[in-house]
Structure 1
Amino acid sequence: MRPVLLYTLARFAIFLATAGVLVLVGARGVLLLLLSLLISGVVSFVLLSRQRDRMSSIVETGVRRQRTRFRDARTKEDV
């Protein structure tokens, strides 16, 4: 679960840094929000690829484990 938290915090930090730079440039309001989301999304896509891969493997492992538990419980219930 730690990689998920670290990835989320990194995305949030990149968003805040992008918003800060855009405020200095003069963006305000909805334009600030939209540009921050767009630019931070592109930057995160490039810079956080390893963390995203690590996070997705952790999430996938958790989903598989839950599906196995559910399938085992359903099988046990049917018997």
Structure 2
Amino acid sequence: MDFDELERNLPAAVTLQEAYRAAFYMVEQYISLEEEPDEGLILLLHYLDSDPARWEDWLLSVQRGLKDPETVDPHR
């Protein structure tokens, strides 16, 4: 798969809901690829799918990420 081409074909911005779904699918994908997935990731997926506080936690996390863009580098 050509990841540069994949990245070029993605929109420059996504909604909060789209980003949340992407995070959910990323965790779900990782769990499905692992023969013995980490219990913490399984619990995270369950939390993302079922806990009523998840949306408020997500919004706080997005706000934090916007305030401090240097903390986590996705290309590292």
TM-score by length of 1: 0.34
**Structure with a larger share of its residues in helix:** 1
Higher relative contact order (CA 8 A, sep 6+): 1
Select the structure of larger CA radius of gyration.
Answer: 1
TM-score by length of 2: 0.35
